[in-house]
Structures are given as C-alpha cells and as structure tokens.
A and B are shown apart, each in its own frame.
Chain A
C-alpha cells in the first residue's frame, strides 16, 4: 500500500531570520516601485530587472553547487525564498521555470559543459527557459508528441510545433521533448529525447496566444528544420520520457501550486479583521486550515526531494489539492466580502479577486490536469 507519510518539518530560528531577510528585501523593492503585488505572478509577472536582483542576492539556483553559480543552500532555504516570493506576488515569471525545473534537470542529467554553460547564467537571473512539452494534438496524452529530430552531421534537424508555451516570447532556450526514433508499437514511451533549443536559432518562430484576458503569456512555437547541435542533447538519446517525468516532479511539487491566489487570501483576512467580522472570519478559517495542511505537505515533499526520495505520486496529489484550493480562495472570497471583481479597480481586493477568477481555469490544467493527476495517484496506490 502506498503511504503518504510525510516528515514533520520544523523551521529553525536561523530559517526564520533568513525568511525575514527575504521579506525585507521584497518589501523594499515594492516600496521602491520595482513591482506591484499580483496574483499568479509566477506565470504572469515578468520583470527582468527584478529577476537580476534576485540573482545578485544568490536566490536563484540557491541549492546548486557554487561552481555552477549556486549558493549550496538547503532545500528548505529554497522553499522559504520561493514561498516568500509567491506570498508577496512578486514578478518572477522570467526565471521561474529555469530555476524550478530546467536547471535541476541539467544538474541531474546534463553534461558538465551544459552545466557550466547554462547554470551560472540562470542563477544570475539572466537566462530563461521555456517548457516544450505540449503540442496542438498532444496535451494530456504527452506520449503522442510528434515533434521530431532527425540525426544529421554534428547535430539534429528539428521539425514540429509546441504550444501553450508559457514565456517562450521572453525565454532564451526551450527544452523540447521530441521523437528521435520512430514510434514503437510495443512501447509508447520509447524513442524520445530532450533537446535544448536556442530560441534565436534560424527556423524558430514564436506566435503569441492571447489568454482569455487578452494578455499574451503563452505561445505557439514552430520549428522548421532547426539545427540543434549534438552538445544540446540532454542526457541520453532515447531516455527522454523518463527524464521528462523527472522534470515534471520538479514542476508539480512546489508551493506555487498552492499559493497562486495567496495575495487575495491575505487581503480577505485583512478586511475581515478590520471589520471585526467574527462569523465570516470563522468561515475564512476553513481556507486557512486547508492552506496550513497543504503547506505542511508541500514542505514535507521538499524535504523528501532533497533526500532523493521518489515523490512523484505525492507531488501529483498535492498539486491536485493545491490547485483546487487556489480556486476555492476566489470562490469563497466573493461570498465573504462586498467586492465586485475588476482588473482596473482602485480597491486592491477587487483587483486580486479579478486576477484570481480570470486565471483560475488554468490552475487545474497547466502542469497536468486534475483528472490526469488523480489517475496518477490512484494508479500509484493500486499498483503498490
């Protein structure tokens, strides 16, 4: 039987001091006008200057070895940084994916040259990555991906289309999941590889896709006979599926799957406190208790990830519950305060409410849908 037993993690005084250091920095930057708090800032808040500042602080790639530009700090320190960034609704979209999954992927599967080349730039907050998984005809069924790379002298020729690619219009590179061998009817997961594609290469074109708000943060990316040099293959040729699954564990396990609407929750509690509205504050505590539970689980997973434990199923579980929670924050807030959601409202809570409601549909789709995640959890349990 699969056990979802997670460790109880205690933050130390030292952790708390570090947390306050991060918080103070964020407060100062906000006061200086470097950024404005918003919901879902990890996908929508793009600000290269801010990313660079975080890099200077050593807070990107914070756990990585120093020789690759990291700070060799613990997973819990990293957890503190990203949690504080999310709670502050800071503009981290630029470097987020590189810090969260591309860097760790290269650290685990990349060559020494790749690590030396990419990781220091990422850690400086100057190099962004995009996720090249989904395609027009391959969403949940990722194994049906049809982008393909054919071997040529000194490299690969890549053809195909990726879509829904968040931040591709700002990113420098994309890690593309593609076929390097024909389909094997015996094994759907065989014959995939991961390639690092320089998005400024000839043959790459990027077309923005407007989100339902009208803003464009994701894209369609076309590859037409793009040459990708040999040294850009990640890990082993043919091992792409397994590597991609490892990448997804990084993608799914973090606190951004719980905290996308946190700034709204903070405002809600603030308002109810100001009103001394005990009955509604009591209702809102159900959100707070849920957040506390999810947060403990998520911290536990971070700890396990650091210890090298396989957390794939638990990460899927928390992402499923966390994204439902993110949506619930918006749905409960609208019933607990007198606010009309509007993106251009003068009132902070109305603005955050609007951001949350409009972005909510994506929460339970991106990174694997609710239905797919639950399938992973159930199959994982039944198989044990």
Chain B
C-alpha cells in the first residue's frame, strides 16, 4: 500500500468509526440528511480522491478511492459517497470541475434527457428512474440528447419533480422527472456505449468494494458475538455447528476481499481481463451467504431493529443487485470468454492467451 493510501484509509476509518453511529444511520433512514458527516468527509478530501491537486482534487488514484469506499461499506455510511466520488471522476475525464456538493449518477441505456437550447437557458425534459440519493443530490450526471446528438451532461436537480423510493437498506432510489424545466447545465459530446460500459465498471467495482467492507464488519461482529453470548453454560463459539458457520463466513469474506483488491489493482492499471467481473460475481453471491449465516449465529437479537447487524445485511441484500447482480456479471464474463475464442480457459486465466500475448 502506498503511503497516500495508508493515510487516506486511516483517516477515513477514524472519521467513520467516530461519527457514523448506529443512531446516525437510523436517522438517515428516516429521511434526515446527515450534513455534519457529509462535511467531515468533504473536509477530509474524500470526494476528490483520484483528482490531481492541480485540478483542485486531493490527489491519489482510483485505487485509493476504492479502498476508501470499502470503508464506506464497512460503516454503512448513509450518504452518496460513491456516487459523488465516481461522478467527480467522470467530470474530470470530461474536463469539468469536481463538485463537493452531493452528486448522483444515472447513466442507463434507455434513459436520457431531451435538451432544447432557448434564449432563457436550456429547456430539459425526461425521466430518470432509480436514481440513488436523488432527493438529496444537487446535480445528476446523466445522458442528454439534443438534435439527435448525445451528450454527457451535468444537470442541477432543482426544479425537477421527485418521486421517492428506497432500496432494501432504506437508501433513496428516486425517480426524477424534468418537464420543460428551465435550467443551466454543462454538456460534453460523448460516445454513449463507452460511457455506459465505463460507468457500469466503476459502479460495479464500487459496490464490490462496499460489499466486501460490509462483510468484514459483519464477520468481526459475529465472531465477537460468539464470544459474548453463552448458552448451555459456555460461549456459543464452543459449539461445533457455530464454528462451521464462522469458518464459512470467514471464507466468503476473505475471498470477496481478495478478489476485489485484485480487481481494484487491475482496474487501476487499466488491465482488467476477468478480475472485475469475478469480483462482482463473488461478492454478490457471497453477500447472501454472509447475511444468512451472520443472522443465524446472532439469533433473535440480530433481527431486531435495535441491533446494528441489519444495517449491514440489508445493504448486502440491496447492493448485490446494484450495477448488475451476479448473473449479469457472469454473463459479461461469458462474453469475454466467447470473444477470446482462440484461448483455452487456462490461457485466459493466466493471461497468456491470444489476447494477452507474452512479449
């Protein structure tokens, strides 16, 4: 780990450990914006990791950002951190300035905003669905269409009508509609297919990092609980059946963390072959097992609202569907294998096939 990464990870962990309490996450779920925590994260420079200091960012690289997102998952941070961070990365690529106000992203195949240029500004019309944190975000990064050309646009949400909805973790996923709304916006010409692909990778990997962070926390909590809880006159970790579950939890968690870390490096090096898709297939399928077994070990106390466990398990159930579930990513991987038809599986896996000739 680079020094920068170590510092960033340490700082983030400290902030979140001290400030992102069970009660705060509860409050957020009741619909209250956690402005104080937002401010702390902003001041730490987390929203502009991966953006050079010259461009007004914190410095570091994408990988640093993903490692911080792992902690965002670990502490169930109820704020659009990954959306703002990834949004800023996209803005940077488009040559636009980073934002420190909450951002959200809605880049989907069949959804776009129609744009007309008028004297008084832009007139925008269109509907974006399941927009994470839509109601709290100031601007959305999305796709615009003007006279048959497609654009990457940064669009203020003020003036849109919002239909609220939430995912299983109580995180907002709102529908945002613009109807002849007059607004300012920034737009850049873009290849939409490339953009969709890129955003799916970024969001997919961010969810893998967040899920593996959540699992890390769940494993710690569960091991701890088995030390404290006594039945039949001894701690429950002394029961063989409980030990078996702990080992499975540890395995699923360790595998998710390891392949996600590998995927982060590959992505950073612009060298991803199967790592990212494998990380998503692994973490999404591990998510269900980890949630199930951690609840089983916790008994009834773990299913109460009072207990912290559900803040993490509900996030696993929500996130494993987001930016593609394990089937979607398995299909992506299948396409990669089909497209590399000259290589054997072993050549593909060891990066020695026709697509990765050894120099």
Contacts and interface: CB of A to CB of B under 8 A. Distances in A.
Contact of A281 (B329, B338, B349): B338
B262 interface: yes
B351 A273 contact: no
Nearest to A381: B223
B257 interface: yes
A289 B345 contact: no
B337 to A, nearest CB: 7
A270 interface: yes
Contact of B278 (A293, A297, A382): A293
B248 A374 contact: yes
Given A286-B285, A292-B278, A273 B255 contact: no
A278 B338 contact: yes
A323 B256 CA distance: 18
Contact of A317 (B244, B247, B346): B247
A294 B288 CA distance: 18
A11 B338 contact: no
A262 B223 CA distance: 34
Given A266-B345, A320-B247, A375-B243, A282 B331 contact: yes
B262 A288 contact: no
Contacts of A320: 247, 251
B333 interface: yes
A382 B240 CA distance: 13
Nearest to A298: B258
Interface string A115-142: 0000000000000000000000000000
Contacts of A87: 346
Nearest to A278: B334
A289 B208 CA distance: 13
Nearest to B253: A4
B326 A379 contact: no
Q: How large is the interface on A (under 10, 10 to 19, 20 to 34, 35 or more residues)?
A: 35 or more
B331 A314 contact: no
A199 interface: no
Interface stretch (A15-23, A174-182, A238-246, A338-346): A15-23
Given A13-B359, A286-B326, A377-B246, A292 B349 contact: yes
Interface string A74-92: 0000000001000100000
Contacts of A16: 350-352, 358
Contact of B247 (A281, A285, A294, A374): A374
A373 interface: yes
Nearest to B222: A381
B246 A382 contact: yes
Given A269-B345, A378-B244, A381-B246, A289 B333 contact: yes
B63 to A, nearest CB: 10
A296 B274 CA distance: 12
B349 A295 contact: yes
B251 A317 contact: yes
Chain B interface residue bracket vs A: 35 or more
Given A13-B358, A378-B237, A19 B352 contact: yes
Given A286-B285, A292-B275, A8 B262 contact: yes
Nearest to B265: A8
Contacts of B258: 4, 6, 8, 293, 296-297, 300
Interface string B176-188: 0000000000000
B254 A297 contact: yes
B250 A4 contact: yes
Nearest to B326: A286
Contact of B240 (A270, A286, A371, A377): A371
A276 interface: yes
A270 B265 contact: no
A321 B240 contact: no
Interface string A293-327: 11111001000000000000010011011000000
Contacts of A17: 358
Contacts of A2: 250
Interface string B269-293: 0000011011101100100000000
Given A282-B331, A374-B248, A297 B255 contact: yes
Contact of B257 (A4, A23, A273, A374): A4
A266 B346 contact: yes
A317 B262 CA distance: 19
Interface centre among B248, B335, B346 (most CB of A within 10 A): B346
B334 A285 contact: yes
A285 B223 CA distance: 31
A212 interface: no
12 contacts: A19-B352, A278-B338, A281-B334, A282-B333, A284-B334, A285-B281, A285-B337, A288-B345, A317-B251, A377-B251, A381-B250, A382-B226
Interface of A: 1-2, 4-6, 8, 10-11, 13, 16-17, 19-20, 23, 83, 87, 262, 265-266, 269-270, 273, 276, 278, 281-286, 288-297, 300, 314, 317-318, 320-321, 371, 373-375, 377-379, 381-382
Given A8-B258, A288-B349, 5 more contacts: A1-B220, A6-B261, A288-B333, A288-B345, A292-B259
